[in-house]
Amino acid sequence: MTVGPQPLYRPDLPCAIVVDQLGYLTRPYSLEVQVLDSAGATVYARTPVDVGTPPGNAGDDAVVNGTPGADQLAIGYYKPHTYDPDGVTDATAAGRRTVRYFLRLTSSSSEVVWDVLTEKLAGGAKSDGRPRYLLVADLRDEGFTTSVLPEARAIALIKRVSRLVEMYTGNVFAAVVKAISVNGKGGSILQFDEPICAVGAVAVDVNPFTPADLPFGPDLMRVYSRHLTQRLLQPDDRQNPKIELYYPQDFRIPSGLASYTLEQLVWPRGQQNCHVVGAFGYTEPDGSPAGCTPQLLAYACMLLLQKELPTVASGDLSEEGTDWRTTSQRTRDQAIGRAAPRTNARPGDPILGAITGDPKIDTILVSFMRPPSLGAA
């Protein structure tokens, strides 16, 4: 395994993450894409994505990994290079788009179909490479007109509230493909701080002069992403993301370097010595391989965006969001009494606006907060 640069994350393009039934990023037998407008009319006809050659079709290396295609950003992560939402392949007006994927993991497997909602923006606003949890079209559906919220400012506020909810909760709410390095603890469990959507390549350092020189294959590991692979939410693996080593029936000890072997089946102790390429993020199951942004989180983003509407120069931000704290009013003298935010929990009143100043938003955000760190680094 080569520890290279991070895969390119492109939320402005209809990228697809392909995951097998065990939670591993994989190269599929076939992947096709179709794009529809808000009325269901075809914007971009069903077209194959160039995923390369599936495993086992050519060459020694291809028996395991297959051969990469032109649309591959990383194994199991693809973008249809022939579709450009700002170009001639999408010449229709701006608005909501439905990107529909058609997937076959093997030549004999049944076809899996799922939809991803996105949009074409007026003026072709480009991505900053970070997830956005709302569409401008969602804001229009809720009554944010162009006179109240022009498109350029809508995009800026969507970016702002997306970063705010990540800061408040400690989670990212989209599947982002990246390479990370964590500490081995000398046990069979490799713990992560981010929920796992899927895992690709895994390797550990054995020789200090050759990083990631001992790869681990799916035959030695279990990936805990059952909220996506099994729709299992009790227990919820997003609250305890990990990879576990285990003995299969036909176990063989991989050959390593130096004195390290896998006889004990443990992740060797070290600092950032275990390297994982995978898709990470807090998503909810929706039938797609990597899940989608939780609907309640998107709703909290919209409520938070409403609080961000006043501009700094207007001075309205100083009183924004304080009505819920009002305990008394006197209209003649215009006296208003307000309660202070509290952090003590009680049923139905978990945080009382201690995060954003609005208990309705905070009650949602608390349910998505990252658990205390379990030692991954």
What is the tens place of the pLDDT at every residue in 275-307? 999 999 999 999 899 999 999 999 999 999 999
One-letter amino acid identity for 92? T
Q: Does the pLDDT value for residue 192 go beyond 50? A: yes
Quote the pLDDT of residue 126.
Answer: 61
Nearest to 12 by CA among 97, 76, 74: 97
Confidence of residue 4 (pLDDT cuts 50, 70, 90): very low
pLDDT higher than threshold 80 for residue 73: yes
Give the confidence band of 81 by pLDDT, cuts at 50, 70, 90: confident
- Three-class DSSP category at 228: helix
Residue 101 has pLDDT above 90, yes or no: yes
pLDDT in tens, 218-243: 888 899 999 999 999 999 999 999 99
**Dihedral angle of Cα 215, 219, 220, 222, to the nearest 10 degrees:** 110
Region 121-127 average pLDDT? 66
Lowest-confidence pick of 30-39, 167-176, 220-229, 260-269: 260-269
Q: Is the pTM of this model over 0.95?
A: no
Q: Are 169 and 368 in contact (CB under 8 A)?
A: yes
Identify each DSSP E strand in 77-163 by its residue range: 77-78, 95-104, 112-120
**Per-residue pLDDT reduced to its tens digit, 106-120:** 989 999 999 998 888
Q: To which H or E segment does residue 163 belong?
A: helix 151-169
Q: Which helix (H) or strand (E) covers residue 297, if one does?
A: helix 295-307
The one-character DSSP state at 24 is B
Token pair listed for 374: 């379990």
Closest of 189, 325, 207 to residue 255, by C-alpha: 207
The predicted model gives 89-105 an average pLDDT of: 90
Cis peptide before 218 (omega within 30 of 0): no
Q: Is the pLDDT of residue 163 over 50?
A: yes
The pLDDT value given to residue 84: 81
| pLDDT recorded at residue 258 | 47
pLDDT attached to residue 92 = 84
Do 205 and 273 meet the contact criterion of CB atoms below 8 Å apart? yes
Query: Mean pLDDT over residues 111-139, rounded?
Result: 83
Given a cut of 90, whether residue 322 has pLDDT beyond it is: no
User: From the CB of residue 257, how many other CB atoms can be counted at a distance below 10 Å?
Assistant: 13
Residues composing the chain = 377
- Please tell me the distance from the alpha carbon of residue 191 to that of residue 377, in angstroms, as a whole number: 9
Contact predicate 279/197, CB 8 Å: yes
Confidence class for position 94, pLDDT limits 50, 70, 90: confident
Are the CB atoms for 206 and 36 separated by under 8 Å?
no
Give the pLDDT confidence score for residue 5 in this predicted structure.
45
Residue identified by tokens 């790869």 is: 215
Identify the burial level of 222 via C-beta atoms within 10 angstroms of its C-beta, where 0-12 means exposed, 13-18 middle and 19 or more buried.
middle
In sequence order, the 6+-apart residues with CB closer than 8 A to the CB of 299 are: 364
Residue 254: band (very low, low, confident or very high) from pLDDT cuts 50, 70, 90: low
Closest CA to 187 of 236, 253, 242, 226: 242
* Per-chain mean pLDDT for the chain: 80
Q: Which amino acid is at 329?
A: Q
Q: Which of the pair, 310 or 55, is modelled with greater confidence?
A: 310
Tens digit of pLDDT for each residue in 10-23?
A: 555 678 999 999 99
- Exposed / middle / buried, residue 345 (Cβ in 10 Å: 0-12, 13-18, 19+): exposed
Pick the range with the lowest mean pLDDT from 10-14, 129-133, 241-245, 256-260: 256-260
pLDDT tens sequence across 143-156: 999 888 988 899 99
Angle, helices 295-307 vs 151-169, to 10°: value is 120
pLDDT of the residue at 375: 47
Q: Which domains does the chain have, with CATH numbers?
A: 10-129 (2.60.40), 176-280 (no CATH), 321-366 (no CATH)
The Cα diameter of the chain in Å comes to 86
Q: Are 60 and 83 in contact (CB under 8 A)?
A: no
Nearest CA to 26 among 203, 231, 290, 213? 290
245-250 own/partner pairs: CB under 8 Å, 24+ apart: 245/188, 245/189, 245/190, 245/216, 245/220, 245/221, 246/188, 246/220, 246/221, 246/222, 248/219, 248/220
Instruction: Look at residue 326 and tell me whether its pLDDT is greater than 80.
Output: no
DSSP H or E segment with residue 303: helix 295-307
